[in-house]
Amino acid sequence: MVAGLGWRRLRFRHPAQVVVAGFAAAIAVGTALLTLPIAREGPGGASVMEALFTATSAVCVTGLVVVDTPSYWTGFGEGVILALIQVGGFGIMTFASLLVVLVSRRLGLRARLTAAAETKTLGLGEVRSVVAGVVKFSLVLEAVTATMLTLRFALGYDEPWPRAVWLGVFHAVSAFNNAGFALYTDNLMDFVADPWICLPIAFAVVAGGLGFPVLFELRRRLRRPRAWSLHTKIVLWATGIFLAGGTVLITAIEWSNPATLGPLDTPGKLLAGFFQGGVMPRTAGFNSLDIGRMDPASWLVMDVLMFVGGASAGTAGGIKITTFAVLFFVIYAEVRGEGAVNIFNRRLTGDVQRQALTVVLLSVAAVVGSTVVFMVFTDINLGRSLFEVTSAFATVGLSTGITADLPVPEQILLTALMFIGRLGPITVASALALRPRARLYDLPEERPVIG
């Protein structure tokens, strides 16, 4: 009895533990469903590894695949993948909190804490309205995007209306949740110069990657930018810089590449450069160009964009642009010899700086260590290994074409990276910690030599 009570207290000591358990449970259910014979085209069911990898990629809204989605999975299998993407995008705990609201019309303290851990909200009193707002906004934006895509597939490509609706809904949900799953063998390469397909998907990706706190604030204070919070200002400025920078760099590098932008006219090159270089590495795995035939310099640029990712509390992955911005301003303040770190007339606290540094260092360790494993145990070169590992950890889903041919141990490693990358190093670490430790005394200060 005592042991049971101890386990119960341990299990609910930190909301992050419930978040991790919720994602793991969703992956387990998705794996089981995808192994059913009804989920796969042809005789028999998918192997456990194929189902596990696909379920993890869907729940963690990544988009990496080891089998061809449209030809390998049946309509049932595609439906399971779509449901896993939607659940992963909402966040397991956000979705559970919504159910509590609908059933009981109120949230308990534990449920509020759990939802706060997933949605990154600051006040417990805001959680109920935020959870409902997350779902409403997500469904509305997905519906608008799905409508535009459906019309284009039906009227522009002569798809039957039922098929066009399914294509529209699937790609809209996949786009808003930054998943990158597509129902075409070559992803979106057939639509590289079609703005009626690329731009709605790009808009949904950017909106999902901004994060729900930013979207809510823009809705309330769109015409009062001076009243925007520091978080919103950082996200919008950094998003604009990375979108423009990625577009310019990838377009310039690939402009004359006969395997990518070379055959396109100027408007097509600009559209493809924006779609593939500016939007998709931030972090949705759609590709309108053949990633495997891009210049290695483009891979490196995309590695950086993928690693940084999108904003917190959204559907994007990476270390988050707020984390990157905090460290940038820390370096800026140190170079200038300033005692405090200031951003947009606000001073950053020390704990924010330490959290940003911790996230970056843990993420670098995960990416570098996994890349070394790839290079030691396979014959894949540095460029492709780093790209694949970064894409998995940042839950992007772009690939140079090596995922399906990887040995099982490396596929398992990518599966673990997607799981860790979606939840974040800090969340995973805190979920595994038995209890926080408080130091009751301070040690004497001493300064080591730096540099």
- Range 193-217 average pLDDT: 90
Alpha carbons 240 and 55: distance in angstroms, whole number: 32
Look at 1 and 278; give whichever has higher pLDDT. 278
Query: Of the ranges 65-74, 163-172, 177-186, 439-448, which one carries the lowest mean pLDDT score?
Result: 439-448
For 26-91, where are the E strands, in sequence order?
A: none
pTM of the model: 0.88
pLDDT in the model for residue 100:
47
pLDDT given for residue 231 in this prediction: 83
Q: Please tell me the predicted confidence (pLDDT) of residue 120.
A: 55
Give all strands (DSSP E) within 64-196, no chain letters: none
Separation CA 196–CA 147 (nearest Å): 11
Tens-place pLDDT, residues 48-93: 999 999 999 999 999 999 999 999 999 999 999 999 999 988 875 5
DSSP string, 187-235: TTGGGTT-HHHHHHHHHHHHHHHH-HHHHHHHHHHTT-GGGS-HHHHHH
What is the chain's alpha carbon radius of gyration, rounded to the nearest angstrom? 22
- Least reliable range by pLDDT among 162-176, 206-220, 419-433: 419-433
Is the predicted pLDDT of residue 393 greater than 90, yes or no? yes
What is the reported pLDDT for 104? 47
- pLDDT higher than 90, residue 314: no
User: How many angstroms separate the first and last alpha carbons of the chain?
Assistant: 56
The phi, psi pair for 347, rounded to 5°, reads -95, 135
Q: What is the mean pLDDT of the chain?
A: 85
Residue pLDDT, tens place only, 100-123 = 444 444 455 555 556 555 555 545
The average pLDDT across 148-166 equals 96
Q: Quick one: which of 275, 210, 198 has its CA closest to 240? A: 210
Output the pLDDT for position 430.
56
Using 50, 70 and 90 to split pLDDT, how confident is the model at 10? very low
Contacts of 259 (CB under 8 A, 6+ apart): 290, 293, 294
Q: How crowded is residue 429: how many other Cβ atoms within 10 Å of its Cβ?
A: 14
- Distance (Å, whole) CA 384 – CA 404: 14
DSSP 444: P
Please compute the mean of the pLDDT values over residues 276-300 and round it to a whole number.
93
CA 276 to CA 71: how far, in whole Å? 24
Tens-place pLDDT, residues 320-357: 898 899 999 999 888 888 878 888 888 887 777 888 88
Split at pLDDT 50, 70, 90, the class of 418 is very high
Length of the chain: 451
